[in-house]
Amino acid sequence: MNVTKVYDANIFVNNTSTHGLASEVTPPVLTAVMADYKAMGMAGSLELFNGFDKMETTIKWTYPDNETQKVFANFMKPVDLMIRSSKAQYDTGTVEEVPIVMYVKGYSKTHPAGTFKSKEDTELESSVAVNYYKLEIDGEPIVEVDVLNNIYKVGGEDLLATRRENLGI
């Protein structure tokens, strides 16, 4: 039996490490937009892939530094995130650890000041409207979605190449 565990992560904001400044990150969730199709002669209807629903990433900060706060306060400039983690695989002991790397690009949606309570950590949450997402595990591309450039790749295979060619883009 092979047991896999993922612990901890580090977030890079515009290529700057924020190690120790965040308590949680929620990467984007890919949700397909499906189009209904039904026609005469069909015993039923079906759904066909028709793009992606909007994506969002959230980061819970223990309290970010000033430069990170400025990045998330600017709603007009894109935010470039890299989320790095390590996947440990166990057998009778640690077999190996491999990197998990997520690339996320988009625009900041929120800049909260945080919640201040007596004798408790101050936490605040930033949200990013995502227009680009790529996941690599151990250097292998798993999925890549670039909404603005009409790119959708799974395992390195470009699933929208023909569509872009047909559209002349």
Q: What is the pLDDT along the chain (169 residues), one digit of tens a residue?
A: 788 899 889 999 999 999 999 999 999 999 999 999 999 999 999 999 999 999 999 999 998 899 999 999 999 999 999 999 999 988 877 788 999 999 999 999 999 888 888 888 888 999 999 999 999 999 999 999 999 999 999 999 999 999 999 999 9
Give domain status of residue 16, yes or no: yes
Give domain status of residue 18, yes or no: yes
Give domain status of residue 15, yes or no: yes
Give domain status of residue 167, yes or no: no
The boundaries of the domain holding residue 7 are: 3-31+55-138
Neighbours of 156 (CB within 10 A): 10
Name the residue among 18, 19, 47, 12 with its Cα closest to residue 33. Answer: 47
Give domain status of residue 151, yes or no: no
Query: Residue 3 has what pLDDT?
Result: 87
Query: Residue 9 has what pLDDT?
Result: 94
Helix (H) or strand (E) segment spanning residue 79: strand 78-90
Give domain status of residue 36, yes or no: no
Give domain status of residue 94, yes or no: yes
Residue 79 in tokens:
């935010």
Give domain status of residue 156, yes or no: no
Tell me how many domains the chain contains: 1
Question: How far apart are the C-alpha atoms of 62 and 27, rounded to whole Å?
Answer: 18
